Structure 1
Amino acid sequence: MGQADARILKPEAKPEPIRDAATVVVLRHDAGGARVLMGQRGAAAVFMPSKYVFPGGGVDPSDRAAPRTGLISPTCAERLLRHPTGADPEPDALATAALRELAEETGLHLTETPEPPLRFIFRAITPPGRSRRFDARFFLIDAARIAGDPDDFTDASDELGHLHWIGLTEARALDLPFITEVVLAEVAATLNGAPDLGTPFFDNSGPVPTFRRL
């Protein structure tokens, strides 16, 4: 190969690393029916700009270093440990990240009660080729566990705009990421009495997309 040919060839792009993440689906039951809390990502965001999403984000070192306990049931913890893909966070670290992200992005906090407030309901790994890739675990929280006014977002960061509660059917008319639509359908099925067949997992960690039950 000559020097001219060598200059033409470009080095292969490194695969985008997969970052562990935790997302919170807060479900509210009141006179407005069953509603979830959603917000809109900024138009300039690198990942999923302008999309409506649930509060959530990447697991921080602090979540791993000092995780809270008692946030999830033993069943949820066991499911979170299934199908590891590397240096996966401990279940308590994922639950801690979920509540930290909820507090940062919405300003909402939970009351302290003996029962675990988080339920592990979904897992999805972002497919290759995206600007960011996450191994996201979705947790369901009953809005009755929120301390104070659930409509008070004055302490929220500016990461999500248009924070509001919206019905499950109405939410699907928003500009949503595909996986958010799937999670909404899963929540609706649960509310309609669907049996627990295991936590759904859209696994895009390998060359072939795989659907699993954890």
Structure 2
Amino acid sequence: MDQATGVRSTEPPDSGPPEAQARKAGLRPRNAATLILLDRSKRAPRILMGRRHAGLAFMPGKFVFPGGRIEPGDRHMPVAGALPARSHDALAVKVARGGEGLGRGLALAAIRETYEETGLLLGTRDYGPPDTAPAGTWTAFREAAVLPDLEALHFVARAITPPGRPRRFDTRFFAADRSAIAQEIPGVVSPDSELVELAWVSFAEARALDLPRITRVVLDDLEAQAKGGFAPYRTIPYYYERNGKRQRETL
């Protein structure tokens, strides 16, 4: 997936919000979501990262978090548990009119994309299989009797790809503990897949990898929020670019 990067913009000065600038640039960012899995079972936390195939046109060989665009079915998948209040409220800030329920759909997109790219199904078997599931990827959750659990997710950051890029995304970064993995389907990661390698690495090891700029930035946010136990009062950053300058707001 395309995550926000730090390329300078060449568009003329504009004092409007980043969403308005995106529309004027003629390429509106698409809603997308990313999921960062944390293993906190040992003293030094580890995070799951995947290396993209070297033959891909976008970010070849880079280490990233699993993620991608939201799809229509993501809004209709049954779930167990609601998003934590802090995440729910922050996801509803600075969204276009008619964006009710967008946060829930984005959280589910992060879970679905993680399964598609890694074979990991996040959720619970405590309530049995979903009664229904949208066509496509979500049927795998029903067949595995795994119900996605949004309560396990924490909203960490939001970032918009700067103007001037051939692909632009409005990406929400979520985090979840490794214990939220209900099942792993083998064989999804291979030399011919989008992600050719998965690795559980420490924060220090992650920073030594070949990362997109925004991934490196979000690592700092993630580490700080995880140390604070994802407290309800935590700061959730929002990154975008205005008039060629990087901006950071809080949600």
| TM-score normalised over the length of structure 2 | 0.70
Deviation, structure 1 residue 31: 4.3
| 1:104-156 deviation digits (Å, cap 9, x = unpaired) | 1110112416781100011000111223111000001000111246xx74344
Match of 1:203 among 240, 245, 248: 240
Deviation, structure 1 residue 75: 2.2
Q: What's the counterpart of residue 123 of structure 1?
A: 158
Q: What's the counterpart of residue 3 of structure 1?
A: none
Query: How far, CA to CA, are the matches of 1:153 and 1:177 in structure 2?
Result: 27
Match of 1:93 among 105, 116, 121: 105
Match of 1:61 among 72, 82, 90: 72
Taking a change above 3 Å as real, the CA distance of residues 186 and 79 of structure 1, as seen in their structure-2 partners, is same
Deviation, structure 1 residue 209: 4.0
Query: How far, CA to CA, are the matches of 1:77 and 1:191 in structure 2?
Result: 18
Identity %: 40
Query: How far, CA to CA, are the matches of 1:32 and 1:62 in structure 2?
Result: 38
Query: How far, CA to CA, are the matches of 1:146 and 1:201 in structure 2?
Result: 27
2:198 maps to 1:163? yes
Q: What's the counterpart of residue 79 of structure 1?
A: 90
Query: How far, CA to CA, are the matches of 2:32 and 2:161 in structure 1?
Result: 11
Q: What's the counterpart of residue 22 of structure 1?
A: 33
Give the RMSD, CA atoms, in angstroms: 2.7
1:78 counterpart SS class: helix
Say which one has the larger Rg.
1
8 Å contact kept, 1:67–1:96: no
| 1:22-42 deviation digits (Å, cap 9, x = unpaired) | 000000123473111111122
Q: What's the counterpart of residue 9 of structure 1?
A: none
Is the deviation greater in 58-67 or in 126-135? 58-67
Query: How far, CA to CA, are the matches of 1:80 and 1:15 in structure 2?
Result: 24
2:44 maps to 1:33? yes
Taking a change above 3 Å as real, the CA distance of residues 69 and 87 of structure 1, as seen in their structure-2 partners, is farther
Q: What's the counterpart of residue 213 of structure 2?
A: 178
Deviation, structure 1 residue 43: 2.3
| TM-score normalised over the length of structure 1 | 0.81
2:151 counterpart SS class: coil
Query: How far, CA to CA, are the matches of 2:87 and 2:212 in structure 1?
Result: 25
Query: How far, CA to CA, are the matches of 2:183 and 2:170 in structure 1?
Result: 31
* Number of residue equivalences: 199
